[in-house]
Structure 1
Amino acid sequence: MISIEGLSKFFTSNKNKITAVDDLTLDINEGEIFGVIGYSGAGKSTFVRLLNRLEEPSAGKIVIDEQEITAMNSNQLRIARQEIGMIFQHFNLLWSRTVKDNIAFPLEIAGVSRSKREERVQQLIDLVGLGGRENAYPSQLSGGQKQRVGIARALANNPKVLLCDEATSALDPETTNSILDLLVDINEKLGLTIILITHEMHVIRKICNQVAVMEEGKVVEQGDVLDVFLRPKQVVTKRFVEQVMGTNEEDDGVAYLIDIYERGKLIRLHFVGETTNQALISQVAKKFAIEINILQGKITQTQAGAYGTLFVQVDGESNEIDKAVEFITNETSVELEVVRDVDGTIS
């Protein structure tokens, strides 16, 4: 659906060359919700603005639905943009227009007749849950309602792709969840490809199928959301995952727990999908002559299933501990990592 090859963007400031996006290559499948995450300055917002050429690329190639966006002249690009909707962090609504007139604006520009505009606007108002607010002005709306207007407006011309640039970062957590639920609903009903830019890992966790992690203009890690949660490779990715899971052994809380237990093995267990429902702790405690102390843990949901991490201390005779570790490793689908061994060695 979307193919990006060698995409770069350079800026010049005080005669210094600044690289915002650096030789980025990605493929995004049709109909998926693809997340791009990074801290401020990572280049993610510049990247998403390059896709519809709100920013002009310095190098590289963008193909959307077999159309090479980077090769288009201004007239061709104007037509192509009708199939690429975009929503923004700060809504970008026309404050002198009502809800329905804001939504109708792209249709006016496209030359759609009044009767067809009115029909389409009403469809979109119903889709985003703004019934009864058609004649309200942006100043009379909550943040979540404003973003729903922005989403409806972005969908006015039946786009194939929806770009979301920090679409929920100006909203409170409850409103954020309602907007994310709406995006999932739109994705399922319309088969829309959504590219979502964010610096919040819980947004990625909640609705994305795939995620790319950006740092210093590059994609440093990419994959299925569940795989990235389970096996983050880069330091920046681990930091994002820890935002959601809160199970970093370097944090003060876990470090304290590690320090006070001086015997046995300290183990981190990774649960994925159906394994999160297994009664593993009680099963192992009954099967082997060991004691298990649960130190810290959390289970969270992703679009692909549940993911959980549990820190435990296992105490007892060393041969019984080794048997329990071997059993978990070889006889279950739970992944096991020894954080500290009986001799105090940190893994």
Structure 2
Amino acid sequence: MIQLTDVNKKFGAGANAINAVDQVNLDIEEGEIFGIIGYSGAGKSTLIRLLNGLEKPSSGTVTIAGYEMSSVSNKKLREARQKISMIFQHFNLLWSRTVKQNISFPLEIAGIKKTEREKKVNELIELVGLKGRENAYPSELSGGQKQRVGIARALANDPEVLLCDEATSALDPETTDSILDLLTSINERLGLTIVLITHEMHVIRKICHQVAVMEAGKVVETGSVLEVFQSPEAPITKRFVSQVTEPSGTEQAIAHLPTGTLVKLVFVGERTEQPVLASLIRTFPIEVSIVQGNISHTKGGAYGTLILQLIGHEKEIEEAIAHLHEQGVRTEVIGND
């Protein structure tokens, strides 16, 4: 569906040139929700402009639904853009138009007859949960309702790809979850391919199938969300993952512990439900204390972390850790006094 091959985007020239996107390669399958995460300045916004054809790569190719975005004629580019819609952080609604009129706007531009427009708009209002708010103006809506209007408007022309540029960043956590649930429902019901740009790992964890982590214009890590949570490699990925897998106060709790060996356990999928800790206590003559624990749920399954303090003879602790490995639990010694 979407393929980026050796994509570079430079701004400026010579010593002052900025490589906003640096040798990026991505494959996004049809019908999946693909997350691209990075902090400010990572190159996310430039990348999304390359996807919707507002920017052309300095080198490399961007192909969407069979269209090579940088080399197609203007007519073909317009055709390609009809297959791509976008929702924004700040909604970008027409403030002088009602909910119904905002959603209808792209259909008016496309020359769709009034009766067809009204039928389509009513279907979309139902789909995004705005029944009863058809005649309200944006100033009368909550942030979540405004984003629902933006989503409905983006779906008006039956796109194949939906680009979401920090679509939940301006919303509170509860509203964010409701919008993410809506996007998941749309993905499942319409088979729409969704590319989601964000700096929030919670968003990636909740709805994405695959993720790419960006830093300084480069994609430093890609994979299924569960794989990336289980085995993050790049330092920036580990920072993002820790935001949602390690409870706040973990470092402070560890810092005030007395002597002992600190071990971080990682459970994936069914392992999160198994009594591994009880087995450890029964089998080995060591003291086991739980320091912190957390379970996160991704599209690919559950992911849990547990930090234990083990006190006992060194040999017995080593045997206990080896036992955990044998049980399929990934372990990491993070402190040893």
TM-score, reference length from structure 2: 0.96
Matched, 1:337 2:335: no
Question: What pairs with 1:21-100 in structure 2 (closer than 5 Å)?
Answer: 21-100=21-100
Q: Deviations over 1:219-265 (max 9, x none)?
A: 0111111111111111111111111122699x6414414xx3323x2
Checking the alignment, whether the CA contact within 8 Å between 1:242 and 1:248 is kept in structure 2 is no
Checking the alignment, whether the CA contact within 8 Å between 2:83 and 2:160 is kept in structure 1 is yes
* Identity in percent: 60
Counterpart of 2:165 in structure 1 is: 165
The CA distance in 1 between the partners of 2:190 and 2:143, in whole Å, is: 24
Name the SS of the counterpart of 2:17 in structure 1.
strand
The CA distance in 2 between the partners of 1:31 and 1:197, in whole Å, is: 17
Moved more, 59-68 or 10-19: 10-19
Shift of 1:113: 1.1
Shift of 1:13: 8.5
Matched, 1:177 2:177: yes
Checking the alignment, whether the CA contact within 8 Å between 1:261 and 1:313 is kept in structure 2 is no
Counterpart of 1:262 in structure 2 is: 259
Counterpart of 2:208 in structure 1 is: 208
Counterpart of 2:126 in structure 1 is: 126
RMSD: 1.7
Instruction: From the superposition, tell whether residues 114 and 14 of structure 1 become closer, same or farther in structure 2 (CA, over 3 Å).
Output: farther
The CA distance in 1 between the partners of 2:53 and 2:89, in whole Å, is: 18
Counterpart of 2:227 in structure 1 is: 227
Which of these residues, 293, 314, 317, is aligned with residue 313 of structure 2? 317
Shift of 1:278: 1.3
Counterpart of 1:253 in structure 2 is: 252
Moved more, 165-174 or 290-299: 290-299
Checking the alignment, whether the CA contact within 8 Å between 1:247 and 1:309 is kept in structure 2 is no
The CA distance in 2 between the partners of 1:338 and 1:248, in whole Å, is: 20
Structure 1 gap ranges (5+):
none
What letter corresponds to residue 132 of structure 1 in structure 2?
G
Which consecutive segments of 4 or more residues in structure 1 shift more than 4 A?
Answer: none
The CA distance in 1 between the partners of 2:90 and 2:98, in whole Å, is: 17
Checking the alignment, whether the CA contact within 8 Å between 1:247 and 1:254 is kept in structure 2 is no
The CA distance in 1 between the partners of 2:57 and 2:44, in whole Å, is: 14
TM-score, reference length from structure 1: 0.93
Name the SS of the counterpart of 1:117 in structure 2.
helix
What letter corresponds to residue 201 of structure 2 in structure 1?
M
The CA distance in 1 between the partners of 2:109 and 2:233, in whole Å, is: 46
Checking the alignment, whether the CA contact within 8 Å between 2:254 and 2:291 is kept in structure 1 is no
The CA distance in 2 between the partners of 1:275 and 1:252, in whole Å, is: 25
Name the SS of the counterpart of 1:292 in structure 2.
strand
Instruction: From the superposition, tell whether residues 177 and 323 of structure 1 become closer, same or farther in structure 2 (CA, over 3 Å).
Output: same
The CA distance in 2 between the partners of 1:50 and 1:233, in whole Å, is: 27
What letter corresponds to residue 19 of structure 1 in structure 2?
N
Counterpart of 1:307 in structure 2 is: 303
The CA distance in 2 between the partners of 1:324 and 1:155, in whole Å, is: 55
Checking the alignment, whether the CA contact within 8 Å between 1:211 and 1:222 is kept in structure 2 is yes
